[in-house]
Structures are given as C-alpha cells and as structure tokens.
Structure 1
Amino acid sequence: MASSNTVKIQEVTQVTPFSDSTTEFSLPLTLYDTFWFNFPLVERLYFYQITDLTPRFFNSFILPDLKHSLSITLLQNLPLAGNLIWPTDAPKPYIYYSPNDGVPFIVAESTEDFNSITDNGVHEAVELHPLILQLVTSDDQAAMIAIQITLFPNQGFCIGITSHHAILDGRSSTMFIKYWAYLCKQLGKDPKEEPSFLPELIPSFDRTIIEDPTGIDMEYVNNWFAYTRTRSLKVLPHLTPNTDGVRATFELTREDIQKIRNQAEKQQQRFHLSTFVLTLAYVFVCLVKARGGEDNREIIFGFTADYRSRLDPPVPLNYVGNCVMPHFRIAIARDFTEENGVAFVAEKLSDVIKEIERGELEGRQDTLSRMLTLMETLSEGVQCLGVSGSTQFDVYGSDFRWGRPRKVEIVSIDRIGAIALAKSRDKSGGVEVGVVLKKQEMEVFSSLFVDGLKD
C-alpha cells in the first residue's frame, strides 16, 4: 500500500558531537544488548503543533537550535554518535566511536494535513513511514540512531528518531529525547549561559555494573546466528507482515480503568490490578475478539520488563543501554473470549509480575532461544500480543521550547505486532493505546473497545 504522505527531502547531513576531541573508544555489549541486536528497529515520532509556522522561521530559528542542542546532547552521549561494528576477528559486536562520527540527520517537508495525521482516528499505517529515517546497516556495521525533522508548513513539525535495539531500550531512548529537549529549552533562555542539567538526565554508559559470569551474551549471539543463518548486524525487517494495516489511537481514562478494575475484581480478587495490567488485559481481549477464528487457536501474550531496579546490584535508572527482557505466556483464544476473559488475562499477567518481584528474572541461557522459537510460530497463524512503550514514560513531557508534543507515535509497532502504550497527554492518569490492524479488524476492535466500557 503506497503512502499518500508526500515528503520532500531538503537536507541530508550528519550532526556531530559539540567537541574537538580526537579520542576514539569502544564499548562492549552486555547480555541484554546482544539479546536484541537483530530485533527490528524502534521508531518513534514526536509531533509539535505551531500555528502559522513559516519555512523561513523554521529554517532560521527552530532548525538551527535543534541541531545545536543535538550536537551538545551527543557530547554527553558520545557512544550514540558512533557505530555498532562487528569485525571478522571479534566474537561479538561492540560500539565504536571515532573522531568525525555523527548521527545521520535529515530535514524534510511534508504536504500532509498536520491535524489529520495527528488525530486519534484511523489512518493507513504507512502514512507515518516517510517521516522516519531508516538506519544504515550492513553485515559488519550499523548506525545506532538516526534523526529526521519534518516541517509541516503553517502547521508544525515532527521529530522522528530511529534507534537500533542493541543500543537503546525504551527508557534509554526516551531519556535521550528528554535530555535533548531539556537542553534545547535551556539554551533558548540565554544562549550565553551554561545550561544546568537535571541529575536524572545525566547518562551512564557503565557496562561493568551488569554482570555476566557465565557468558550468556555469547549464547545469545549464537542463537541469533542460528536463527538468521548469517553473521550480520542487519535487523529483521518485521516480525508480523502488516503492509495493509491501519493505525488508530484509543484512550482509557482513569474512570475507564476503574470500570475495568471493578469488573475484574468480580471474577478474581487476588492478583495485581495495576493500571498497566488492567490496560493490557482489556486491550488484549479486544484484540483476540477482533481477530476472530477458532476458539482453540494459540495466543502468545506478554510484555517486556525493566530490570534496572531489580538486579543485584541495581542498575541506575539513567543507565543508557538495554536492561529489559520479555515475559510471555501461552493460552488459547477461548480463554480471552469468554465472559471472564479480562480477569483471566489480568491474573496471568499479575502472576508474571509476582515472579519478577520475587527475583525470578529472565536472562537465562535459553531465554532468547525460547523467544525465537515462539517467533517462528507467528507465520503459522498464532496471534502474538506484545507491548512497545510504557505508561511510566512521560513522552509528552519532551518540550523543546515550543510546547509539549501534540502527539507521540511508535511507528514500528506495525512491524512487530505490538500495541503502543503511553501516559496520557492531559496528565489525567489515563493511558493512550496505539494499535495497528487490518481495516476490518480495526472496525471490530473499535466497536469492542468502546462498547465494552459502556457495559
């Protein structure tokens, strides 16, 4: 399906760290990094609405400030300006930075209606693809992040960031954007004044804090080699083919979540009824019902857990890298579609959280091999329900000086078959849920989602 969003490229360059340093260095990958290194790219869009934004003002003021602040941001996040490399004599890939390395950076202009592309209604999923810059990857080298800034004349602009999953997990990627936004806003107050930084935004790249005495990192490298049948840094293009999908955003208010909680508690009162669990349980049930099919078909469902505060010793929250692992359960469609479906899913997800809290963490030698085995079943008609993003990440707090984002989208969910989660923009305690489905399934899902809250 071709995109109706016409984008014209205005500039292709790279932004380098704001420094005259000639130091080169390398940084190893941990077991949590090698777990993800062939996984599809992560793509996120931040839309900023500015009425009557002219190309002249954008190119004279906004764009230079974004570039300058990005350059200083990269100085504090120097490894991200380098590349992921895999020399023939190296057993596993590693991060390498050398002078003059930088982040691929594109400036573009779109003819799309800004209000239309940022509303919550149904759109073709491919409409957002032209707003994202693809990373350059090969067998032995891959860029780690790429940035595209797209102007919507007289309407606003968007920032697209693409990141390699071997380098950044969701918390790290979100922190990078928040750092960049905070710095850009600080520089706007007085360009001559040295900006101050919030301690929680100062990045840490210390790989020594993650221990791996048994060499699980190499087990994961070998798992990927067996799965892809090649020694390469090229990422998988997609996990679930969805070239004709449509995208929409749904909202659960605090009152909606309480309704779901009340209903679930009628069925079972002994599990962890957090906003996260209730949101997933409700959305997953709607997704299974929208797909239809046989009652005994297999459903794989779960989420990715952050281990920073759970490892011993704990990893600081400002750690930049991967410190997450997936947790999945398997059931059949009937478990979701029966009257107590939401309670059933909530119980299973709550059991997973309890296991994590008891210290029964993933990160074993067979964790990746089991996940890759599950991935192979997706082509056989098994429905996989996962999550990208989190209700804990305040993505709408990234104000570069021109206001908070009007909309934040995780573009890559149409390639990995996940839903997108974010804390609501209005700070009401609600949740935004991004979904990509086939058009007919989206119509059914929308009806189920709305009517279920009424009931």
Structure 2
Amino acid sequence: MVTLLEHCRIGPPSAAAEVSLPVTFFDMIWLYFHPIQRLLFYEFSCSNSHFLETIVPNLKASLSLTLKHFTPLAGNLVHPLIGSSKPVFQYKPGDSVSLTTAEANEAFDFNYLTGNQPRDSDDFYGFVPELPPEKIELDSKIIPLLALQVTLFPNAGICIGFTNHHSIGDASSIVGFIKAWSSVTKFVGDEQFLSGNSLPFYDRSVIKDPSGLATKFWNQMSIFKIESLPLNFPTNKVRATYILLESDIKKLKDLVIFKRPTLVHASSFTVTTAYVWTCLVKATAATTGDETDGEGTEYFAFAVDARRRLNPPAPPTYFGNCLGLVYTESTHEQLKGNDGFLIAAELIGELISKKVNNKEEILKDAENWISYFGELLNERISGVAGSPKFDLYDIDYGWGNPKKFESVSIDGDGSMSLCKSREFEGGLEIGLSLSKPKMDAFAPIFFGGLHADDSMPINPKENF
C-alpha cells in the first residue's frame, strides 16, 4: 500500500505571463493517445521527517522555478466542443501542476522493484501520478497536461513519477523538463540550467505546414482517432528489463554486415530493435502453439525526432511534438524463421536509410499518418518508446543518479522501451511488459539467440 501524505498544486512564479500555443500537425496525432508515464527510482536513505521537512519543500520550490521556463506544462489543452476551431495549449496565471507526495509501506521491496527480473506490472501504479480530471468550461474541454508524484521508501529510496499528456510534447521535450527540474533542485537555483543553452523554444512558426496538414489531420480525427483503450486492472502483465552489452551489439552488427554486406544502415538501434522484434514474434509463436497465421503481417513502427530533419531544421530545444512516424512490415513466418533477425535488420536498416535519414521523405506521406496508424493499432504491431539518445540515468536531483528507470506506459501499448544502460557503458536497456507466459517464452529466446553461435558468447546473468 502507498499512503498519501499530501496533494498540492505548484505553479510558476506569479509573474509568469499568459501563454497560448497552437496545436501543430505534429501534436495533433497524439490528442487521443494514452498518457505517458515514467518512473525514476533513486537509492537514497531518507527518514520520513527529512523527506517531509527538507526534500519535499526543496522539490516544490525548484518545481515552481522550473515551471517559470516551462509554463505550458502548468497549463491545459483547451479542446473546443462546438465549431471547427482547433485545440490550443493555454497557460493562464494561477494554473498549476498536480504534485502528490506519498510513502510506500514495508510491503514494497525497493530492491525488488528496481531489479531487472520479471515483476508484476500492477505493483508500480501506486507510484504513478494520475492526471487531474478533465472539465468543461465555456463549451471547451479543459485537459490538464502534467502530474507529478514523489514517493518515499523509508531508509531505502525515493521514486519520482511523471505523467504527461502526449500532445504537449515528445520525449525530447519532457525529458528536457525533467533534467531542468533536477538541475534546479540539485544546484538550488536555475543558473546551472540557464548556462547550458537548453531553454525550451516555443515559437511554432518553425514548423512549416505548406500543405495544410493540421487541417487535414483535424478533419480526419473524427474518423480515424489514434486512440488507446483504457488500461484495465489487473493488467495480467509482468515487466522485465533486458540488457544488450556493447559487445553484444557489436556481434549483432558484425553478423548483419557479414550476412547483408549491402545494408547501409546497421546501427545499434537497427540491430537492437530487429533482434527484440524477432524474439517477440517467436515468443508469440511459442505461447500460442504456433496457431498464428504464418502469412499474417507483423508490423514494426517507431517515431523519429524530426527536428533536424525538417527543411529548414527546427531548433534542438523546440518544445512540443516533432515526430515523424515510420513503419515496416514482414510476415510471421519469415520473422520466426532462422533468418528472421537478418530480415528484420534489413527492413529496419533500409527504412532508416531511405526514409528517416532523407529530409525529402520524412514528411512525404504524412497526410496518411492518421488513417494508416489508426488502423495499425488493431494489427500485430511492435513499437519503441524512448530512444538510446536519452540518458535517463544522468538525472540527479542531489541524491545521485537513478538506480532504475521504468517506462510504465508500455503496459498499455505493447512497445519496447529503449534507453542507455546505467551499468554498462555502450549498452542498451530494453524494457518489456508482457503476459507471464509470453515473458517466460521470451527470455530463453532472447538469451539463446545471442549465444546460438559460438562467435556470440553471452553471460545471461549480465543481461537480466
């Protein structure tokens, strides 16, 4: 059980000005998507009194100061219910962010929760903040954008939970906020943050829309909503973290380059996602008794940071969504076969080479994103949450680096989470949330595939 200690609202300093930002076509895709939920666990011996008298007041003060630079997060998505007007993001003086403080009882084992082994997915929701309820004002739906929770594990650690509406910003934007808050907390002020040239950039005019994608998307939304079903409890899932060491990734790359010498893009992302995708397909076959249609289509989709890929590019600190959507496909039979990994690596590598890294292609079929990806949600599809470029293990609030990051949102959409490894330089962490039978089938496939060839030895204890 988690005991609620306090629920409060924290806003930016009173001098913060009103802000109104239009919803771009990049934002519009995510209007009906499920909230994004992240947890950072910190190993930190802390008493209840120190937590309430020092840690929490410091976090509140630093949050207010951070929101001075990230005021849209304290505001709302204002969604008109009448007429054809598009939604806007709006902050008005007095708006604020929900902050919950709580304490976990002895039933929660901090070390168990922060392990890599399979753990009941339901055990994490006591640390995940809920967005405040939507409300209706003047014929508009008012939708909060951010909620935070800080949970104490007495004399063991602290967990910070983040829940955000996807429409307000992609991972680049939200992780930017999280890092800013940690910096302001650790250094007791925003001087360090301001010196890092990482102030968010809000000018939406950098997102060019000559073909009217925002209007096309808005018109399509009533027909094809990229909408996620609510998560039901119990989830009947377990979550586990798998690690690919730098040496494992190199072996996978070497295998692809040897077997597919013409493949241009055999990156760490390519081989990691290809390997996990095929392991997931094989695990599905193992748990269904291979009743899955062999010729059935398996899809793999992911979002791409389009900031530097736009023409002209958007600033790296642009705040909002700026994601291109890409996908590839194969058949169940091909991916579960002996060459499944090579087929997947070739498909993903070619997709990145021809589409992702080509400025002329990244938005070429964008007008079909709403309809196509809305339909894909009903198909057999794997995806990626996060990116190896985000180092979530360097976020220090003054208690040291996190012991564990968990992407809770993957419980609802079946994506794999992906981030840099905390313990192994050059390694990657893959987070999965699966039914227990499928996770039980996945683990030996994942480890077995890595050392199936004598040239690819592996120590399973390091990877799980």
Would the aligned equivalents of 1:146 and 1:162 in 2 still touch at CA under 8 Å?
yes
Deviation at 1:137, TM superposition (A): 3.1
Aligned partner of 2:407 among 405, 410, 413: 410
Partner of 1:435: 432
Secondary structure (helix, strand or coil) at the match of 1:309 reads helix
Q: Residues 419 and 159 from structure 1, CA distance in 2 versus in 1: closer, same or farther, beyond 3 angstroms?
A: same
Residue deviations 1:227-256, cap 9 Å, x none? 359xxxxx6345999921110000000011
- Letter of the 2:341 partner, please give it: V
Would the aligned equivalents of 2:391 and 2:419 in 1 still touch at CA under 8 Å?
yes
Deviation at 1:258, TM superposition (A): 1.4
Partner of 1:180: 181
Residue deviations 1:274-298, cap 9 Å, x none? 1111100110111000000332222
5+ long unaligned stretches in structure 1? 1-5, 230-234
Partner of 2:50: 57
Deviation at 1:198, TM superposition (A): 3.5
Secondary structure (helix, strand or coil) at the match of 2:261 reads coil
What TM-score, normalized by structure 1, do the two folds share?
A: 0.91
- Letter of the 1:329 partner, please give it: T
Partner of 1:148: 149
Number of residue-to-residue matches in the alignment = 434
Deviation at 1:339, TM superposition (A): 1.4
Question: Would you say 1:260 and 2:252 are equivalent positions?
Answer: yes
Sequence identity (%):
35
Question: Would you say 1:159 and 2:160 are equivalent positions?
Answer: yes
Residue deviations 1:365-386, cap 9 Å, x none? 22211111212x33xxxx2100
Residue deviations 1:387-438, cap 9 Å, x none? 0000000111100111000001110001011000000113510000000111
The residue correspondences of 1:134-283 to structure 2 (distance < 5 A) are 134-135=130-131, 136-137=133-134, 140-187=141-188, 195=192, 197-228=194-225, 236-238=228-230, 243-271=235-263, 272-283=265-276
Secondary structure (helix, strand or coil) at the match of 2:176 reads helix
Question: Would you say 1:314 and 2:313 are equivalent positions?
Answer: yes
- Letter of the 1:74 partner, please give it: L
Residue deviations 1:37-63, cap 9 Å, x none? 111111100111113x10111111111
Partner of 2:373: 371
Partner of 2:457: none
Partner of 2:12: 17
Would the aligned equivalents of 2:26 and 2:321 in 1 still touch at CA under 8 Å?
yes
CA distance in 1, matches of 2:216, 2:148: 32
Question: Would you say 1:288 and 2:284 are equivalent positions?
Answer: no
CA distance in 2, matches of 1:342, 1:200: 41
CA distance in 2, matches of 1:125, 1:328: 28
Secondary structure (helix, strand or coil) at the match of 1:217 reads helix
Partner of 1:46: 40
- Letter of the 1:13 partner, please give it: C
Would the aligned equivalents of 2:38 and 2:406 in 1 still touch at CA under 8 Å?
yes
CA distance in 1, matches of 2:112, 2:18: 45
Secondary structure (helix, strand or coil) at the match of 1:13 reads strand
Question: Would you say 1:387 and 2:384 are equivalent positions?
Answer: yes
Deviation at 1:130, TM superposition (A): 1.7
Question: Would you say 1:81 and 2:74 are equivalent positions?
Answer: yes
- Letter of the 1:32 partner, please give it: F
Q: Residues 325 and 334 from structure 1, CA distance in 2 versus in 1: closer, same or farther, beyond 3 angstroms?
A: same
CA distance in 2, matches of 1:312, 1:348: 26
Residue deviations 1:153-176, cap 9 Å, x none? 111111111111111101111111
Partner of 1:232: none
CA distance in 2, matches of 1:226, 1:255: 47
Question: Would you say 1:121 and 2:121 are equivalent positions?
Answer: no
Partner of 1:3: none
Secondary structure (helix, strand or coil) at the match of 1:174 reads helix
Aligned partner of 1:92 among 69, 74, 86: 86
CA distance in 1, matches of 2:164, 2:297: 31
For the aligned residue pairs, the C-alpha RMSD in angstroms reads: 1.9
- Letter of the 1:35 partner, please give it: I
Question: Would you say 1:130 and 2:138 are equivalent positions?
Answer: no
Would the aligned equivalents of 1:242 and 1:437 in 2 still touch at CA under 8 Å?
no
Deviation at 1:90, TM superposition (A): 5.6
Partner of 2:95: 101
What TM-score, normalized by structure 2, do the two folds share?
A: 0.90
Secondary structure (helix, strand or coil) at the match of 1:201 reads coil
CA distance in 1, matches of 2:192, 2:252: 45
Residue deviations 1:162-215, cap 9 Å, x none? 11111110111111101111111111xxx6x95552434211111110011232
Secondary structure (helix, strand or coil) at the match of 1:329 reads strand
CA distance in 1, matches of 2:149, 2:421: 24
Deviation at 1:70, TM superposition (A): 0.7
- Letter of the 2:407 partner, please give it: I
Deviation at 1:325, TM superposition (A): 2.2
Partner of 2:65: 72
Secondary structure (helix, strand or coil) at the match of 1:314 reads coil
Q: Residues 247 and 196 from structure 1, CA distance in 2 versus in 1: closer, same or farther, beyond 3 angstroms?
A: closer
Partner of 1:338: 337
CA distance in 2, matches of 1:167, 1:7: 29
- Letter of the 2:167 partner, please give it: A
Would the aligned equivalents of 1:240 and 1:417 in 2 still touch at CA under 8 Å?
no
Q: Which stretch of the first structure deviates more once superposed, 298-307 or 362-371? A: 362-371
